[in-house]
Structure 1
Amino acid sequence: MLVKGSKNMSKRSFDKVLHKTSIIKKLSMSLLFVVASSAIADEYHHNNLLIGKNAVGMGGAFTGVADDLSAIHYNPAGLASIKDGNMASINTFAWEETVFEAVYGDGSDFTRSAFSVVPGFFGFKKQFRDWHYGLAFVVNDFSQERSSDVIEYNTIDIATGIPLNVKEFINIDIDNSAYQLYFAGAKQLTTEFSIGLSLGIEYRTFQTDQSSGTQISLPISASDSINTGAQATARFNDINIVTIPSISALYKTNKVSFGAKLNVPMVINRDYEMVSTAFFAGVDPSLPGVTPALLVPEEACCKQKLPINIALGVAREFGEWQFSVDVQHHLSTNDGVERLEGFPVPITRDFKSVTNFALGVSKKLGTESQFRVGIFTDKSNIAIDPAIDFQRVEDVDLLGISASIDTNLFDIPVTFGGYAKFGSGQVRVADVRAVEQITGIDLYPTNNEFDVSDMQKKVLLFFFSLNF
C-alpha cells in the first residue's frame, strides 16, 4: 500500500474504512478478464473463418458445389471433377471487435479489438490413375489481440459516505490460432457420382497474458490521498493436436448437384498450463479464511471431446446463375466438465447441438469474371448454464454477409472479396467466483443474474486469392 502526504486521517480510521465490504467491492469488475481458463479467443463458434475463394463469396455454401481446390476442406469428393490442378493461394485481412457491456465499476463498457493478416488457404491437386489427390494448408482460426484500457471516475462509498477516486485498467495480449494440414483423395465412380476421403491434422494453440486491477484513492486533504487497490494477472498456454478424418460424396449433373460430408474430429494430445496471481492491498492477512495474496500454477492434459459434424449441400444452375444451400449440423457432446485442481474452473465443456445455414448465389459476368454473394449463420456452440459453477462462456449467435468477384490482373486470375459477421448475446463470467473462494474476500457485487451480462460482437474480413 502506498501512503503519502498528510496523516490527518488516522491509520485506525483508514483501516476501518478500507475493510468495509463496499470498499473492497470497488476492486473492479475489470478483474473478470484475467481469470478465464480458456479466455476469449473465439472458441464459442464453429465457423470462425470461411475458407476458399469461391466458398467465401458464397457464405460457405459449398458442400454441393465443390468446384475449386477448397473442396479439400468442404467436400473432398469434388476433387474428382475439378479440371484445374493449379495451385491456389488466399490471404485474409481480419478485424474483430467485442464489446462487453457495463464491465467497469461506473457502468462503462469494455471494448476489445484485434487485427490480423494471415494466409487462409494454400492447396494443389494431382491425378494418379483413377484417383485425384489433394494437399491443402488451411488457417481456419486466427486472432492476435493487444488491448489496453484505463478509466477513471469518482464515486461515494455508500457505507461511510466518503468520496473515492477509482482508476481501473485492463491489459490483454492474446495469440490464438488453428492450422490444418489436409490430405485428400477422390474417385469418380460414375460420370455423375464421386466419393472422397480426407485426413486433417490440426495444431491449435491459445496463449494469453492478461492483467487488470484497480487503484482506489481516499482523499485526506485538498492535495493528498491514501491509495489502495488490487491487481490480478494470468498467463495461459493451451495446445491441442486434433485429427479430423472425413468421408464425403458428390452427385453432380449439368444443372444440379448434391454433396454430403461427415467429419469426426478427435483431440489426440493436449498440454495446458496456467499461472494466476492476485494481490489485494490493505486487507488484513490475519483475518480468518482470508488470503490477500495468491499464486496458483496449474497443469492439465485432459482432452476436450469435439462434436461430430454433418454437412449437406445442394446447388442448382439457371443459365448464368447458380444457387447453393448448405446445412451444417454439429452434434452435442455430453461428457461433463473437468476442472483444475487448485483453481477450480472448467477446462472442458459440453457442446450444444448447433445447426448453421448458408445460402450462396453466383452470376457469370463473362468468360473470365464471376460475382458471388452469400448469407450465413454462425451460432454459439455452448449454452449458459447457471448450474455449472465458475462457468465462463459467450453465447452470441452471429449473422454473416459475404461477397466476392473473379477478375484478371496482369493475365493472372484473381479473386477479391470479404464478409462481415455481427450479433449480440450474453456472456457469463462466473469464474470470478473461484477467486472469491480462494481468497475468502467478497470481490464482486452479488447479483440475481448468475454473473450474466450483455455483449456484442462483429467481424470484418477481406481477402484476395491468386491462381497459378
Structure 2
Amino acid sequence: MKWSFPARLACVCLLALMYCPCQVTADEHHYRNMFIGGRAGGLAGAYTALSDDTAGCYYNPAGIAMAPSMSISASANTYQRSLKVYKNTLTGTDGKQFDWQQTSSSLLPNFFGVVKKAGPGWLGISYAVPDSTRRRQDQVFTNITSSLGANYVGQYVINIDDTDNTYLFGPSYALRFGQNVSLGTTVYVHYRHKQVIRNQLLQFNEGEHLWVNYYDNQEDWGIRPILGLIWEPVQPIALGLTVSQTHVFAKERREQTILRDTTSSVFADTNRVDLVTSDYHQGMDAPVQTTFGMAWFVSPRLLFSTDIAYNAPIEDKETVWNLSVGAEYYIWDNLALRIGIYTDRANTPDLNPNLTNQPEHIDIYGMNGGISLYHGHSSVTLGFSYGYGSGQAQVIADSTVIQDATIQNGALFLAASYGF
C-alpha cells in the first residue's frame, strides 16, 4: 500500500517517500538477504546437496544424516552493511540533482545449531536469522524546486529509522536409507518484527510548512516446514532437493500518521494536527520455494556445488529463479578455501513508465568467500559476502517519474563448529 497526501498537496512535486514502507525496510523484494553458516556462506549458499553439518537444518535437513561425527554444535556471527542510493530524486533551484542515500547495518549471532545421533536417525535443533536490517536515512536538503514556482522548499528534512528482523527456531530430524539416500525435515517457528519510523519536514520559502510523522509496527507468527532429500546416484555426485514455505497464521500491524500542514487553506487553524491510525490482523503466506542442488566431489580435496532455487509467484510477487555456484579446495588437510557466486533477483516486475506507485526492481549479483581451519571435527571459519545491484525505483507517490537505483551489500562472518 502506498500512502500520499490529499489532492490539495498534489502540486508539491517533491512529496517523496510517501510510499510503501516495505520499500525501504528489510528487503522484501529479495529472498536471499543473509547467508547462514560458515561453510555454506563461503559457498554462496550452494549447499542443498551437501548440508552435512548443523547448517543443514536450514538448507537441507536430509544432510544432517550424513554428519561426520556423533554430535555437532555450531554458531555464527555476522556483521552486515548495506548502501542503497536513489539517484537524482530531488532538484535544487540551481538545477543540481540530489540523491537519496540509505544505509543499513547489523551485527548479530545469526545462527546456532546442535545435531546429535538419536535413535535410528539424527536430531537437530537450530536457531537462524535469515533476515536482519536496520535502515537509516538522515539527510537535509536546501533550496529544492517545487511546482509552486517561486515558493520553493527552503529546507527539506528527512529521517528514517526502520528495523526488520526474522527469526527461525525449531527441530530437525533425518534418516538415512542405505548408503545413498537420506530424508529429513525441519519445522521452524517463524517470528518477524518490523518497525518503521520516519519523519519529514518541508519548510517553504514563503513561510508555510508541512510536517509528516509515520510509524508502523508489525509482528508475524507462523511456521516454516522444510522437507529435504539427498541422493548419491554414483560415487562422486550428490543431488539434493528441498521444498519449503512460510505460513503466517498470526499478524498484528498498526500504522500511525501525524500530519501538520499550513500550505492549504483547508487548514484555517495552522495549529491543527491530523492523526490517522489503522490496524491489520491478517496473515499472509510466503511463496513456495523449491531448491535443487548438485555437488561434484572431484577429489578428496576439491568439490564443486551448485543450487537452483525456484520461488513460486504469489499475490503481487513474481516467479523468481536464483542460482548459486561454489567451490571448495583443501590446501592442506586442516585448511580449506571456499569461493562462490550467487544471484538475488527481485520478485517485482520491471517498472512501467506509464504507471505510478510501483515497487522498486533491483537484481543483485554477488560473490562470497571463506577460509576454514580444522582440528579434528572442529573448525573455525572466517568469510565474506559482497553483492551489487542496479535497477529502477519510483519513490515519489502518484508520479510516473522513475529513478535509477543501486544497492551494495557487504558482510563479514565468523563461525565455529565443534564435533565429538
Q: TM-score, normalised by structure 2?
A: 0.88
Q: Distance in 2 between matches of 1:363 and 1:278?
A: 59
Structure 1 residue 71: Cα displacement: 0.5
> For the Cα contact (< 8 Å) 2:11–2:147, is it kept in 1?
no
Q: Distance in 2 between matches of 1:263 and 1:294?
A: 44
Q: Specify which of 245, 268, 273 is matched with residue 264 of structure 1.
A: 245
Residue 298 of structure 1: aligned partner: 278
1:379 aligns with 2:364: no
Q: Specify which of 161, 164, 167 is matched with residue 173 of structure 1.
A: 161
Residue 6 of structure 1: aligned partner: none
> For the Cα contact (< 8 Å) 1:100–1:110, is it kept in 2?
yes
Cα gap change, 1:356 to 1:452, in 2 (>3 Å): same
Residue 42 of structure 2: aligned partner: 57
Q: Specify which of 254, 258, 262 is matched with residue 273 of structure 1.
A: 254
Q: Specify which of 212, 231, 240 is matched with residue 211 of structure 2.
A: 231
Q: Specify which of 22, 25, 33 is matched with residue 38 of structure 1.
A: 22
> For the Cα contact (< 8 Å) 1:36–1:392, is it kept in 2?
no
In structure 2, what residue type is equivalent to 1:100? Answer: Y
Structure 1 residue 359: Cα displacement: 0.5
Q: Distance in 2 between matches of 1:154 and 1:351?
A: 35
Which runs of 5 or more structure 2 residues have no equivalent in the other structure?
1-7
Flag as ranges the 4+ runs of structure 1 deviating above 3 A: 24-28, 157-160, 162-165, 384-392
1:198 aligns with 2:186: yes
Cα gap change, 1:451 to 1:200, in 2 (>3 Å): farther
Structure 1 residue 37: Cα displacement: 4.3
> For the Cα contact (< 8 Å) 2:183–2:228, is it kept in 1?
yes
Q: Distance in 1 between matches of 2:204 and 2:147?
A: 15
Q: Please list the CA deviations of residues 115-146 of structure 1 after superposition, one character each: whole Å capped at 9, or x if unmatched.
A: 21011110011112211010100011001233
1:214 aligns with 2:202: yes
Instruction: Map 1:66-465; keep pairs closer than 5 Å.
Output: 66-84=51-69, 85-106=71-92, 107-153=97-143, 162=150, 164=152, 166-218=154-206, 227-252=207-232, 254-285=235-266, 294-319=274-299, 320-334=301-315, 350-383=316-349, 391-407=357-373, 413-429=379-395, 432-433=397-398, 450-465=400-415
Q: Please list the CA deviations of residues 223-282 of structure 1 after superposition, one character each: whole Å capped at 9, or x if unmatched.
A: xxxx22211110001111121112111113542110001112211111111001222213
In structure 2, what residue type is equivalent to 1:458? Answer: Q
Q: Distance in 1 between matches of 2:191 and 2:415?
A: 24
In structure 2, what residue type is equivalent to 1:32? Answer: A
Q: Secondary structure at the match of 1:108?
A: strand
> For the Cα contact (< 8 Å) 2:353–2:402, is it kept in 1?
no
Q: Specify which of 34, 38, 48 is matched with residue 33 of structure 2.
A: 48
> For the Cα contact (< 8 Å) 1:153–1:166, is it kept in 2?
yes
In structure 2, what residue type is equivalent to 1:272? Answer: R
Structure 1 residue 407: Cα displacement: 1.6
Q: Distance in 2 between matches of 1:158 and 1:255?
A: 67
Q: Secondary structure at the match of 2:20?
A: coil
> For the Cα contact (< 8 Å) 2:339–2:369, is it kept in 1?
yes
Between the aligned residues of both structures, percent identity stands at 22
In structure 2, what residue type is equivalent to 1:193? Answer: V
Q: Distance in 2 between matches of 1:204 and 1:154?
A: 38
Q: Secondary structure at the match of 2:24?
A: coil
Cα gap change, 1:300 to 1:384, in 2 (>3 Å): farther
In structure 2, what residue type is equivalent to 1:174? Answer: D
CA RMSD of aligned residues (A): 2.5
Q: Distance in 2 between matches of 1:210 and 1:93?
A: 24
Structure 1 residue 314: Cα displacement: 0.4
Residue 338 of structure 1: aligned partner: none
> For the Cα contact (< 8 Å) 1:353–1:381, is it kept in 2?
yes
Cα gap change, 1:412 to 1:77, in 2 (>3 Å): closer
Structure 1 residue 416: Cα displacement: 0.3
